[in-house]
Amino acid sequence: MPKYIMDFSEISVDLIESCGGKGTYLGELIKAGFNVPPGFCIVSDAYFDMLKCNKLELLIDEIVQTINFENYNEEFEQKTQMIRDLVAKCELPSEYEQISNAYKDLAGAGGAEPYVAVRSSVAVKGTAISSFPGMMDTYHYIRGTEEVFKKVKECWASVWTARAAMLRYQKGIDHAMAVIAPVIQRMVDPEVAGVMFTGNPINLSRDEIVIESTWGLGEAVVSGKVTSDFFLLDKESLQVKNKKINSKEIRFGVDNETGCGRKEYAVEPHMRKKPSLTVEQLVKLAQTGKAIETYFSTPQDIEWAFEKGVLYFLQTRKILRF
């Protein structure tokens, strides 16, 4: 039986084409001793084997041949949606029970089905490309085996979002070379979360750290749904050189009505203009961010979250401009 599951602790930097960029760097973060929520990666062979066992390769290729990549219009959207529908409705043989077994293992001693995030981890065969920021889909607060399988299929299908297909075409990347290896990770339910750049991506200074933060899930920062708080720190002294505390109108959290998936909530009025990070939290973030940069030997774009005061790292990747 093929092995479709790799625990984060098993993953190293030489497994980009099996585990994609996100999965690989989460494995490296754990290896280096940084605090990462537990989880596992569904290796890329699971995606390619799914295409084969459902006889989708030829069907997808036939649809691709009819797409006019020079004309991004409604028809383009419709045809890429056709491909996503084929993948999302695929049947999975018994070998894929490895996914449900690994998900159940995340429950720990308590035994209750845990909330997880299902996140895309991508690469391109034969290249150094290991991320397509904002191109693939991520799902939060997923609970139950059936929902996990559903979101894994939707994650696979997101290879064929219109924006991802167009980007590959523009970069001259063969669609068949696209690798996707979904990451299943214990869900962090943060009070505050965001992104950190261990070099300034605007002026390209390696002597500054940029931190953006907001209440609830960091998705609000990544997606641009909220104007986040902004902090600029001197990398050597960790002193705050500049900051802007914005009115944070919304936050993302678990959908309390359905008990699954994320939902947008209004932030309480008295919290909107309150700084989302304390000085102590900023220093802790910056110190650990510097250590992550040192480990990878290049400035990093890091997603992080504080849950009950504990700092977790959810993703890291090279800042492309450095």
90-94, 135-139, 231-235, 278-282 — which is least confidently predicted?
A: 135-139
Q: d(Cα 77, Cα 29) in Å, to the nearest integer?
A: 37
Q: Is the pLDDT of residue 135 over 60?
A: no
Residue 72: predicted pLDDT:
84
What domains lie within the chain, and their CATH numbers? 5-186 (3.30.1490.20), 192-318 (3.30.470.20)
In the chain, pLDDT over 70 holds for what percent of residues? 96
| 156-168 average pLDDT score | 91
Residue 13: predicted pLDDT:
86
Pick left, alpha or beta for residue 20 (phi over 0 → left; psi -120 to 50 → alpha; otherwise beta). left
Residue 235 identity (one-letter amino acid): K
In tens, the pLDDT along 219-278 reads: 888 777 888 999 999 999 999 999 999 999 999 999 988 888 899 999 999 999 999 999
Q: Which tokens in the block code for residue 195?
A: 């992104």
**Helix orientation angle between 74-88 and 162-171, rounded to the nearest 10 degrees:** 110
Confidence of residue 180 (pLDDT cuts 50, 70, 90): very high
Residue 129: predicted pLDDT:
62
